[in-house]
Structure 1
Amino acid sequence: MKKRLILALLVAAFVVSAVAVFVSGRWYLSQPIQSDASTPLLLDFRGGATARSVTIQVTEHFEKGNSALIYRLSQVFDDVDHLQAGLYEINGRQSWFDVWSMLSQGREKTFTVTLVEGLTLEQWRAQLKQLPYLKDESSELDPAELRQKLGVTETSIEGVLLPETYSYRAYTTDIAILKQAYQSMQQVLENAWQERSDRCPVNSPYELLILASIIEKETGLADERPLVASVFANRLAVGMRLQSDPTTIYGIENFDGNLTRTHLREKTEYNTYRINGLPPTPIAMPGKASIKAAANPARSPYYYFVADKSGGHVFSETLEEHQQAVRRYQLNQE
């Protein structure tokens, strides 16, 4: 009986110890790695890397924990054999359970980029080239090759990509983002074309993009876009030239910021002071609001507008009224 009692006590002690180890081990892995507001770790977990290397990098970065012990406990209490490659952001408030869950489920860090309306393709490409963890694949491509990569059927990429905020993971290519922007624009443009009013002055979705890009460059004020669109619609309806400075500027190689009379007299395919109708391509990336305005211009009597130096424009029905506005707001003549 005494031997049996001793054996039972030993077994009980072993069980209690095992339970204590089990509970303390799980408790340890469930605690924040480091509770203070330390700098997060960007963990670049590549193919061929191991859970052991993860524990070493994390403990070294946060200067807390025994990597060997953590690795052994993690093998017991979590899945560390099926981790997905990627770039992960680990902060000190996470537990080791959080870390292994994130890596096993492939919850990589995401980055965002906002491609702004009114800019050109080249300005967008320069912006993309500066982004962290984004692979540049477009720089070496000529326009035809880039159009093919993006699946663009139009003659120019200018204007056919939607300004929007896009998300990407590390080592995504700039081609992937531009392709997404093209596909998004196709949907927006199709919807706008289907919902256009009878005042829409153009004959195709692509012409709608061209007009929208001019509106985008002419004003940044939301409530002005339908009025600016109405001016161009009215002009196109009676055969007047658009006479838009931004189109002329787009056609000037190495423009230095000073638009001169010589520029306005020069006949280029983008100088709407010298050509009838629309230029051959968009002149910038138009946003949704400008596309909507182009498809649904306001009903107005205006044929002219001039900047009022406060961010907006003064609209006029007649050339005489327009000239008075020019003298007042541009030449400072009352």
Structure 2
Amino acid sequence: MTVFKRMVGLAMLLLLVGAIALAVDAARFFFNPLPNEQGKLIAVDPGMSFRAIAGRLADEGVIAKPRDVRYLSLYARATDQAHRIKSGEYVVPAGQTPAHVVALLVSGNTRQYRLTLVEGRRFSDIRRRLADNDALKHTLAGKSDAEVMAALGHPDEAPEGRFMPDTYLFPRGMTDLAFLERAYAAMATFLEQAWAERADDAMVDTPYEALILASIIEKETAVPAERRRIAGVFSRRLEKGMRLQTDPTVIYGIEDYDGNIRRSDLRRDTPYNTYTRSGLPPTPIATPSRAAVRAALNPAEGTSLYFVSRGDGSHVFSDTLAEHNRAVQKYQRGS
């Protein structure tokens, strides 16, 4: 009996020593920074188990020892967080504790990618930018523009000008369709707000007409101070029944534009030729900026009916055709 008691006592002592050693080792893991000395990108796949996630952290050097994988898994389950992990890409900074890493994975604060839609570009350019971005999930390849708009829930709308130019942040795996939904909603919301704040003398009858006019203003000038002046010129011409006679609309209607606009192009009738047709073209010709939309809805007062480029991005404004012709002679023909 005495030998048995001694053996039981020894076993209990060994268990106690083991438990203390385990506790000390666990404390070493939980209360010290993890070993990665720089940020590590960790991808959490949809439906991934926490044990698999912990294994991926080990593969990337965030966790150093195999038993630490078990510690982290036990911690996540014990704190009821293992099933709350959100999929996506996470950047695990250096110097984090295990608790901070689990909290990060639960937060859904995933790595964000940037994609900029530039004002003045066409929808075809937007589609190319989306197709070239490898962080997006591509679902629109091979679809026509009409099919894209139908997928967005707007089957009767032309896509040109409908998407807000801006820099967007998104997680890896977002679909190109979801990205376009954001940009479409951003433009629709802004256009509604700008329309509500339009000037009484705005010469457009609908928000869509404002979008069309804004796209022309966007293509005519990159000088912020000129936008409202150009909007004023176009508004006065519309009011007087004069044709807009603006080159960017003609260019938009040329199927294979080679960079040169010719007299024959100005005479050739298309729905976008504002030398041969009165009023606005049927759709926007580019993606307008917020500033261009505001200008279209708040044109500057004045008397000018013409403008011509100086060749440096700015323009000369004229009240009469005679003045305009002199400006054209000076700045366009060099005499």
Corresponding residue number in structure 2 for 1:300: 302
Q: Distance in 1 between matches of 2:35 and 2:181?
A: 41
Corresponding residue number in structure 1 for 2:246: 244
CA offset digits 1:65-89 (Å, max 9, x no partner): 11x2111221343346323333323
Does residue 50 (structure 1) correspond to residue 49 (structure 2)? The answer is yes
4+ residue segments displaced more than 4 Å: 17-21
TM-aligned CA deviation for residue 37 of structure 1: 3.6
Which range moves more in the overlay, 111-120 or 231-240?
Answer: 111-120
Q: Distance in 2 between matches of 1:27 and 1:219?
A: 64
SS at match of 2:256: coil
Corresponding residue number in structure 2 for 1:206: 208
Q: Distance in 1 between matches of 2:268 and 2:21?
A: 87
TM-aligned CA deviation for residue 131 of structure 1: 1.4
Q: Distance in 2 between matches of 1:23 and 1:240?
A: 86
SS at match of 1:263: helix
Do the aligned partners of 1:30 and 1:97 also contact (CA within 8 Å) in 2? no
Q: After the TM superposition, which residues 31-180 of structure 1 pair with which residues of structure 2 at under 5 Å, given as runs?
A: 31-34=32-35, 36-37=37-38, 40-47=40-47, 49-62=48-61, 65-66=64-65, 68-79=66-77, 81-82=82-83, 83-152=85-154, 154-180=156-182
TM-aligned CA deviation for residue 294 of structure 1: 0.4
Distance 1:326 1:93, change over 3 A: farther
SS at match of 1:43: strand
TM-aligned CA deviation for residue 253 of structure 1: 0.5
SS at match of 1:246: helix
TM-score (norm 1): 0.87
* Amino acid across the alignment from 2:132: Q
Distance 1:75 1:64, change over 3 A: closer
Q: Distance in 2 between matches of 1:30 and 1:43?
A: 25
TM-score (norm 2): 0.87
Corresponding residue number in structure 2 for 1:28: 29
Q: Which runs of 5+ in 2 are unaligned?
A: none
Distance 1:104 1:155, change over 3 A: closer
CA offset digits 1:99-119 (Å, max 9, x no partner): 222223333222222211111
Q: Distance in 1 between matches of 2:143 and 2:134?
A: 21
Do the aligned partners of 1:119 and 1:285 also contact (CA within 8 Å) in 2? yes
Do the aligned partners of 1:43 and 1:90 also contact (CA within 8 Å) in 2? no
TM-aligned CA deviation for residue 256 of structure 1: 0.9
SS at match of 2:60: helix
Corresponding residue number in structure 1 for 2:291: 289
Do the aligned partners of 2:231 and 2:300 also contact (CA within 8 Å) in 1? yes
CA RMSD of aligned residues (A): 2.5
Q: Which runs of 5+ in 1 are unaligned?
A: none
Do the aligned partners of 2:34 and 2:62 also contact (CA within 8 Å) in 1? no
* Amino-acid identity (%): 39
Aligned length: 321
Which range moves more in the overlay, 190-199 or 56-65?
Answer: 56-65
TM-aligned CA deviation for residue 186 of structure 1: 1.6
CA offset digits 1:116-163 (Å, max 9, x no partner): 111111100100111132112222222332222112265311112221
